[in-house]
Chains A and B, each alone.
Chain A
């Protein structure tokens, strides 16, 4: 069964609005959550690492003020794309750090900004 629940699975929003993506770890208390972005037929690119109760760590080139990450509990991390623009249209995927248990991914969120 699914161990990571990501919501919504797809969203269309107008340029300038903000979109929140939720990622829930269903059977594992995830101290750390990884957020990735993927363009069509391209690789996953790590955007940021969120840590429960502390600030997220962003990869080089990722705007922290644009991609707000909140990891308020061990089972929930959220990514908010603020003031979205068409170039933010992408596939966003979360993955809790499960250590030796392996890599598990959310279903992904396809964001389209029009």
Chain B
């Protein structure tokens, strides 16, 4: 079952604007991961943030993690048309392999 939830479910913005997606979860975690999936393609790992980290950057991506609120956000700055995709968060609990997935946010960047 899905215990992670992303919001919004869908987001449509103009190219150049910033896009923010949120993820909430229910259980304690070891880490939280964000993935992107383009239509017809496999998941691509974006960022992994560990439970003892609060913020992480990778290029135009910024991920925050608030373990007290059991939530994370993914910010994409200066969005581009190529950022159009579905974005998923997944939480890694204490076990080695299991990931718990959210339903995803569909992001559309309008040119």
Contacts and interface: CB of A to CB of B under 8 A. Distances in A.
Interface in B66-98: 88, 90, 92, 96-97
Interface residues of A, number: 21
Contacts of B39: 99
Given A32-B40, A40-B97, 4 more contacts: A44-B43, A46-B43, A95-B43, A103-B88
A103 B43 contact: yes
Interface stretch (B18-26, B30-38, B54-62): B30-38
B33 A110 contact: no
A97 interface: yes
Contact of A40 (B33, B41, B48, B96): B96
A110 B31 CA distance: 20
Nearest to B30: A41
B42 interface: yes
A108 interface: yes
Interface string A95-114: 10101001101001010000
28 contacts: A34-B43, A36-B42, A38-B99, A40-B97, A41-B30, A41-B92, A43-B45, A44-B33, A44-B35, A44-B43, A44-B45, A44-B90, A44-B99, A46-B42, A46-B43, A91-B96, A91-B97, A95-B43, A97-B40, A97-B42, A99-B39, A102-B103, A102-B104, A103-B37, A103-B101, A103-B104, A108-B97, A110-B97
